[in-house]
Amino acid sequence: MRNDPMAVMNPPIIKTKTNPPGLLADPVAPRDLISIHDLSPAEVLSLFNLTSMLKQRPAEFRGLLAGKQMVMFFEKPSLRTRLTFEAGMDSLGGSTFFVDQTASRLNARESLYDIAHNLERWIDIIVLRTFSHAVVEEMATYAGVPVINALSELEHPCQALADFFTLQEHFGDLKKVHLAYVGDGNNMAHSLLLAGASVGAKVSIATPERYGLNPVIVTMAKAIAEETKASLRILNDPRKAVAGADAVYTDAWASMGHEHEAEARAAIFAPYQVNAALMQFAKPHALFMHCLPAHRGCEVTDQVIDSVNSVVFDQAENRLHIQKAILVWLLGSGVGRFPARSAHAHA
């Protein structure tokens, strides 16, 4: 559910003993972070400001979430997502419980309704990494505590927010940035389109015809772009997408759950490989971006991912900082800030 963007344009300073000087007041954040669309454009930029403070002055925020507890249910393997959430929560003084669901789905033994009502009595926040986006939405509907989407087949909001924060660090004004994405029209492409629309950037996405974006996501992004004056282009030609880009982004051609299609996709996606020849269409300073893990020699060549213009490890580092900001946003000093679940309408 979107909130009034004006409510976070000029947030007051919190003046309490538990918050360091200069900490922004808790923005009027959504109850859950399920999609980039849950954040207004102003809230995205406010989140970036908070992320910058957490990154620059981490010592001042130690203990901010002392006593808070986070549980993570992961149906898919993880390196960056798991460790950055765990390290982030620990550095803020909170504690984490990890539940490995890679052997069975989260709702295989018990209904999500029952799981949610158990968790809300023990835990302050729930982080889910699932195959089905519906699982994340259903958990958010039932649980009386915030739920974060740490990846579903539809979106990867934490990664996309970290990516645009990285672009802001390198270029400043995101309204002047052109991001080109080439490859599969997957969860990463969806969240990048929504995030780019929210910050007013130019986003060009090129996919093979049969592997395009979810039309509902495209419609949502275009509606945001009308508000922010972002420029969105949905194409099939990777060279047209990359032409004049400030950053070129790609992802695995066969995402988790589609590994059995890898061989068939390899031939279809070959023209979308990010190599030196494709990068020539971008601006000379163009950055290379990838959410990782990368399949070297498939969607990207070693020459590109190991180049001086590659910022893949900047992106990975910023997963830590953006997720700390999300946790502070949802769990910070605002005691009683969220309505009771009976009053919460999840959009």
129 and 13 share one domain:
yes
Q: Are 106 and 73 in contact (CB under 8 A)?
A: yes
Catalytic residue among 26, 37, 124, 159: 159
Two structure tokens written together for 105: 């789905």
What's the pLDDT band for 16 if we cut at 50, 70, 90? very low
Least confidently predicted of 9-18, 23-32, 132-141, 170-179 = 9-18
The predicted structure's pLDDT at residue 335: 33
11-20, 43-52, 327-336: least confident range: 11-20
Q: Does residue 93 share a domain with residue 204?
A: no
Q: Are residues 277 and 307 in the same domain?
A: yes
265 is catalytic: no
* Residue from 26, 124, 246, 251 carrying the catalytic annotation: 251
User: Is there a single domain that holds both residue 22 and residue 144?
Assistant: yes
Q: Which of 37, 133, 156, 346 is catalytic?
A: 156
Q: Are residues 287 and 324 in the same domain?
A: no
Same domain, 177 and 218: yes
User: What is the per-residue pLDDT for 341?
Assistant: 37
Residues 25, 46: one domain? yes
- CA-closest candidate to residue 149, choices 41, 29, 159: 159
- Given a cut of 80, is residue 25 above it in pLDDT? no
Same domain, 257 and 133: no
Mean local confidence (pLDDT), 142-159: 97
Number of domains in the chain: 2
pLDDT in tens, 273-286: 999 999 999 999 99
Average pLDDT, integer, range 254-277: 88
Q: Which domain holds residue 173?
A: 159-316
Looking at every residue in the chain, the average pLDDT score rounds to: 89
**Residue 129 catalytic?**
yes
Residue 305's pLDDT band (cuts 50, 70, 90):
very high
Catalytic residue among 31, 37, 129, 290: 129
% of the chain surpassing 70 pLDDT: 86
170 and 151 in one domain? no
pTM of the model: 0.88
- 140 and 219 inside one domain: no
Tens of pLDDT, residue by residue over 62-84, are: 999 999 999 999 999 999 999 99
CA distance 279 to 250: 12
311-317 long-range Cβ contacts below 8 angstroms, 24+ apart: 311/166, 311/170, 311/247, 311/287, 312/288, 314/166, 314/169, 314/170, 315/159, 315/162, 315/163, 315/166, 315/289, 315/290, 315/291, 316/80, 316/84, 316/292
Q: Which range in 26-30, 257-261, 334-338 is most confidently predicted, on average pLDDT? A: 257-261
pLDDT of residue 31: 81
Q: Provide the H-helix boundaries in the chain.
A: 41-56, 80-91, 112-119, 133-142, 157-171, 187-199, 215-228, 238-242, 262-269, 276-279, 302-305, 312-331
State the CATH number of the domain containing residue 41. Answer: 3.40.50.1370
The pLDDT value recorded for residue 56 is 97
**Statement: residue 47 has pLDDT above 70:** yes
Selected catalytic residue, list 82, 178, 190, 319: 319
Task: Give the residue with greater pLDDT, 319 vs 28.
Answer: 319
pLDDT, average across residues 82-101: 98
Q: Is 298 a catalytic residue?
A: no
Are 163 and 255 in a shared domain? yes
Residue 112 predicted with pLDDT over 80: yes
Return the half-sphere exposure (C-beta side, CA atoms, 13 A cut-off) of residue 273.
18
pLDDT for 257 equals 65
Q: Are 182 and 229 found together in one domain?
A: yes
Confidence of residue 52 (pLDDT cuts 50, 70, 90): very high
